[in-house]
C-alpha cells in the first residue's frame, strides 16, 4: 500500500506541471508584441490545456502544449515500467495513469484549477499496455480527428475518443486494472466537459473555425 501511495503522489506531481499556464505566462504577447504574462485561466474556457492555449496563441503553441502534456503521462508510465517489479506493475501503472491525469486536471500549484486532461490521458494510455495500447490509442486518435473535422466540436471528439479507449482495451483483453483505469479516465473526461455538454444541448458550444 505504501508503494501505491508513493507512486500516486509522484505521478500526481508529474501531471500537475501546468504546461499551458507556464507557456502563456512566459510567451504570450499583447497587440504591441510585448510579453504580457497572460493568465490562461482568464480567457476562453479558463482551462490550461492545448485548446485554450490555441485560442490565446495559435495552433503552433496549442500543438506544443498538447505534446508536453502527453509526455507528462508517458513519463509517469515509463517510470513505472522501468522501476516497478513485474508482479506489481499492473496495479502501479493503473494508479499512475489515474494520478497523472488528476494532477493535470487539478494541479495543487494553481489551486486545483487545471485542464481537461485529454492530451495527458492519451499520453498515459498509449504506454499502459504495449503494444496493444499503441494501436488502440492511435485508432482513437484517428476517431478524434474525424469527429473534430466532421462536427467541428473539440469537446465531442475528445469525449467520444477517450471513452472509446477503454472499449478498445477491453475488446483486446487488456488486464482488468488497465480497463478500469481507462474507463475512469474516460468518465473523468466526460465530467470535465460537463459545461460543454450543457452548451451542446443548448446549441451554444463553440465550433472550431
The answer, yes or no, to whether residue 9 has pLDDT greater than 90, is yes
Is there a domain that residue 70 lies in? yes
Q: What is the dihedral of CA 144, 150, 153, 156, to 10 degrees?
A: -50
Is there a domain that residue 157 lies in? yes
Phi/psi for 49 (5° steps) reads: -85, -175
- Specify the pLDDT at position 45: 84
Structural domain span for residue 43: 2-202
pLDDT digits (tens, 9 = 90+) for 137-162: 999 999 999 999 999 999 999 999 99
Is there a domain that residue 209 lies in? no
The answer, yes or no, to whether residue 100 has pLDDT greater than 90, is yes
Residue-wise burial string across 16-34, b where 16 or more C-beta atoms lie within 10 A, e elsewhere: bbbbbbebbeeebeeeeee
Is there a domain that residue 207 lies in? no
Is there a domain that residue 97 lies in? yes
Is there a domain that residue 44 lies in? yes
Domains contained in the chain, number: 1
Is there a domain that residue 181 lies in? yes
- Specify the pLDDT at position 208: 81
Mean local confidence (pLDDT), 56-78: 94
Is there a domain that residue 170 lies in? yes
Q: How confident is the model at residue 175 (pLDDT cuts 50, 70, 90)?
A: very high
- Specify the pLDDT at position 2: 86
Amino acid at each position: 500500500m505504501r508503494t501505491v501511495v508513493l507512486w500516486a503522489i509522484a505521478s500526481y506531481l508529474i501531471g500537475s506541471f501546468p504546461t499551458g499556464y507556464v507557456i502563456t505566462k512566459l510567451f504570450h504577447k499583447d497587440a504591441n508584441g510585448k510579453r504580457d504574462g497572460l493568465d490562461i485561466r482568464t480567457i476562453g474556457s479558463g482551462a490550461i490545456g492545448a485548446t485554450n492555449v490555441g485560442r490565446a496563441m495559435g495552433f503552433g503553441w496549442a500543438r506544443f502544449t498538447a505534446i508536453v502534456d502527453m509526455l507528462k503521462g508517458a513519463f509517469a508510465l515509463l517510470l513505472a515500467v522501468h522501476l516497478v517489479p513485474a508482479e506489481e506493475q499492473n496495479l502501479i501503472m493503473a494508479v499512475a495513469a489515474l494520478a497523472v491525469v488528476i494532477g493535470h486536471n487539478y494541479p495543487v500549484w494553481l489551486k486545483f484549477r487545471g485542464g481537461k486532461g485529454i492530451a495527458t490521458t492519451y499520453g498515459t494510455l498509449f504506454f499502459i499496455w504495449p503494444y496493444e495500447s499503441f494501436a488502440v490509442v492511435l485508432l482513437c486518435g484517428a476517431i478524434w480527428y474525424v469527429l473534430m473535422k466532421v462536427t467541428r466540436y473539440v469537446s465531442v471528439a475528445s469525449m467520444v475518443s477517450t471513452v472509446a479507449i477503454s472499449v478498445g482495451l477491453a475488446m483486446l483483453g487488456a488486464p482488468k486494472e488497465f480497463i478500469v483505469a481507462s474507463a475512469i479516465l474516460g468518465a473523468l473526461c466526460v465530467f470535465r466537459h460537463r459545461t460543454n455538454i450543457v452548451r451542446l444541448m443548448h446549441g451554444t458550444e463553440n465550433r472550431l473555425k
